[in-house]
Amino acid sequence: MRVSRLFLPTQREVPAEAEIPSHQLMLRAGLMRKIASGIYSFLPMGYRTFRRIEQIVREEMDRAGAQELIMPALLPAETYMESGRWQVFGPEMFRLRDRGGREFCLGPTHEEPFTETVRNEVRTYRALPMTLYQIQHKYRDEKRPRFGVMRCREFVMKDAYSFDRDAAGLDVSYRAMEKAYRRIFDRCGLDYIVVDADSGAMGGSGSQEFMVKSDVGEAVIAYCDACGYAANDEKAEAVPAPKPGTAGQPVGKVHTPSVRTIEELMAFFGSSPARFAKTLLYLADGVPVAAMVRGDRELNETKLANLLRCSELEMAGPDEVLRVTGAPVGFAGPIRLAVPVRLVADREVAASVDLVVGANEADFHLEHVDPRRDFPPFEEADLRTVADGDACPSCGGPLSLCRGIEVGHIFKLGTKYSDALSCVFLDEEGKENPMVMGCYGIGINRTMAAVIEQHHDDHGIRWPAAVAPYAALVVPVMVTDPVQRQVAEALYERLRDAGLDVLLDDRDERPGVKFKDADLVGIPLRLTVGRKAADGLVEYKERTWDKPVEMSVDEAAAKTLERMGPYR
């Protein structure tokens, strides 16, 4: 392809809302454009890489024995009502009615139609196991779309669903997908880790996320270098580390006028935050619940929601706090609540002594509180988010935290959807059993952005060969020079005829502009045809190199074909 004909609108400036490198570079390098908040088009250069990633995903899914099909994106409400997710998805689901008034959604994820299809078509154990997948648009009306295609509202997902006879079968299908995912992300040139994850609203018995390590990732990962343990912070078990204290002191009521926050308490008591226990009031599906973590800890709402098995969890407002505790915000505590509610405390709080808690009375706190002596009946659970340096739940060694971009997620769903939608099979004895399911997703758009996050420098993108939009770029320095032009054209045609996707920058632009664009767009190999073309010499430069190497045209062509083998 000739660059003069290519629709490649590069930009020098990007809007301020593009905060992270991949978002900035995808705009600057002319890969995509914003059509609406969280909704993007992919321009020709961007769509080439997009399709390369799709193709890698497809090849590895096929290799793993999964079968491709495609479901509609516009889906009738009924099956989602049957599964209960019509409600669960809430405002994140795009909903509409057809001209007849029938309700539809734009599929946010496709468990329902896959399960329904298999229910309607598969009768016996002989058809199982079976893994089906599609590469299809998904729609989620995100509250805060951001970071370009990293968190957007229309995106493409590869979603696969496995159907097995039993849990042992699911294990096999799940492992096959895990292996395929590793191959996919390896081929895309990503440095990633596989972490234990929370199964959340999807239900099921286990799940793992494929996380690309990146400072701009929205997820936090806890990992242990000693034993290899890794989990996202919604799942990572926090080992209690109670601070020492003197048990058995009498509880004292302390006048703490206007002392509400942990910072104010620290100043007032002259103590470390570990001496305080926060009491946070939530509404779990509308029912008030009090949850406690230590003053220096963060309550993990996913852990709390899972414990409570609720679908909606929100902080209670000031009125509700006043009603339940009898006091304004800032003085909630576990003891003598105005309205008795379910009380859950992090294991660390439960194992501590000599704590300061709110007194449920304006301007008062209680000190020397020993939970197991003084609290009303309460539940203990892992409620806090792990912190850097926490003990690894697997080996006790120190955990490290890093940020990650979730590019893939694999779930053991179990029978959640097959029970809800009656997706059953007859076993060898003619007995009906629910199929045991797994589901497996890869966000194509986000994978593309993650590749850029890990492969760029100050000048632009550095595409790994396997997902590059073009393999090589031939740049005649002066297109008006007949020799340069002719050598460049011949080299371009030679590489193209050998089966490579090659670009020829035939624009009559200053060399600086062409080189700048080349670095920005990030084609893996650049072949520069300059003054020495008359001597049969050109410059060969890989995008990751600082400097080019001079060689003959033949050498350059051979080296290009050898280097870009994995591209084809």
Candidates 12, 13, 16, 36; binder of a second copy (CB under 8 A) is: 36
Candidates 16, 91, 250, 319; binder of a second copy (CB under 8 A) is: 91
Binding residues for a second copy, total number by CB under 8 A: 54
Q: How many residues does the chain have?
A: 568
Helix (H, G, I), strand (E, B) or coil at 507: coil
The four Cα atoms 374, 380, 386, 390 give a dihedral, to 10 degrees, of 70
Please list the residues that pair with 313 across neighbouring strands.
284
Candidates 14, 39, 251, 335; binder of a second copy (CB under 8 A) is: 39
Which segment (117-125, 461-469, 489-497, 560-568) binds a second copy by CB under 8 A? 117-125
Candidates 59, 82, 141, 419; binder of a second copy (CB under 8 A) is: 141
Is residue 144 a contact residue for a second copy (CB under 8 A)?
no
Is residue 84 a contact residue for a second copy (CB under 8 A)?
no
The C-alpha atoms of residue 14 and residue 28 are separated, in whole angstroms, by 7
- CA neighbor of 112 nearest in space, from 178, 154, 161, 58: 161
- Select 13 or 562, whichever has its Cβ closest to a second copy: 13
Is residue 430 a contact residue for a second copy (CB under 8 A)?
no
Is residue 257 a contact residue for a second copy (CB under 8 A)?
no
Adjacency order of strands within the sheet including 103-106: 74-76, 103-106, 95-97
- Select 99 or 547, whichever has its Cβ closest to a second copy: 99
Which segment (114-122, 189-197, 418-426, 513-521) binds a second copy by CB under 8 A? 114-122
Which segment (68-76, 209-217, 248-256, 511-519) binds a second copy by CB under 8 A? 68-76
Is residue 95 a contact residue for a second copy (CB under 8 A)?
yes
Q: Which residues contact 439 (CB under 8 A, 6 or more apart)?
A: 109, 111, 159, 160, 161, 162, 202, 410, 411, 413
Amino acid in the structure at residue 53: I
- Select 113 or 393, whichever has its Cβ closest to a second copy: 113
- CA neighbor of 420 nearest in space, from 435, 432, 409: 435
| 279 to 215, 299, 316, 348, 542: CA distances (angstroms) | 32, 10, 12, 14, 57
Binding flags for a second copy, 1-20, as an x/- string (CB under 8 A): ---xxxx-x-----------
The C-alpha atoms of residue 447 and residue 433 are separated, in whole angstroms, by 37
Candidates 3, 18, 26, 132; binder of a second copy (CB under 8 A) is: 132
Q: How far is the CB of 70 from a second copy (least distance, A)?
A: 5
Q: How far is the CB of 39 from a second copy (least distance, A)?
A: 5
- Select 120 or 249, whichever has its Cβ closest to a second copy: 120
Candidates 23, 28, 52, 153; binder of a second copy (CB under 8 A) is: 153
Candidates 3, 18, 49, 50; binder of a second copy (CB under 8 A) is: 50
Backbone angles phi and psi of 378, in degrees to 5: -145, 165
Question: Token pair 């959640």 is at which residue?
Answer: 416
Is residue 41 a contact residue for a second copy (CB under 8 A)?
yes
- Select 159 or 196, whichever has its Cβ closest to a second copy: 159
| 317 to 283, 288, 328, 330: CA distances (angstroms) | 9, 11, 10, 12
Q: What is the 3-state secondary structure (H, E, C) of 164-223?
A: ECCHHHHHHHHHHHHHHHHHHHHHCCCCEEEEECCCHHHCCCEEEEEEEECCCCCEEEEE
Is residue 322 a contact residue for a second copy (CB under 8 A)?
no
- Select 223 or 417, whichever has its Cβ closest to a second copy: 417
Is residue 143 a contact residue for a second copy (CB under 8 A)?
yes
Among positive and negative, which fits the CA dihedral 246, 249, 251, 254? negative
Candidates 17, 19, 63, 68; binder of a second copy (CB under 8 A) is: 68
Residues of the shown chain interacting with a second copy in the complex, contacts defined by CB under 8 A: 4-7, 9, 33, 35-36, 39-44, 46-48, 50, 65, 67-76, 91-92, 94-96, 98-99, 102, 104, 106, 113, 117, 120-122, 126-127, 130, 132, 137, 139, 141, 143, 153-154
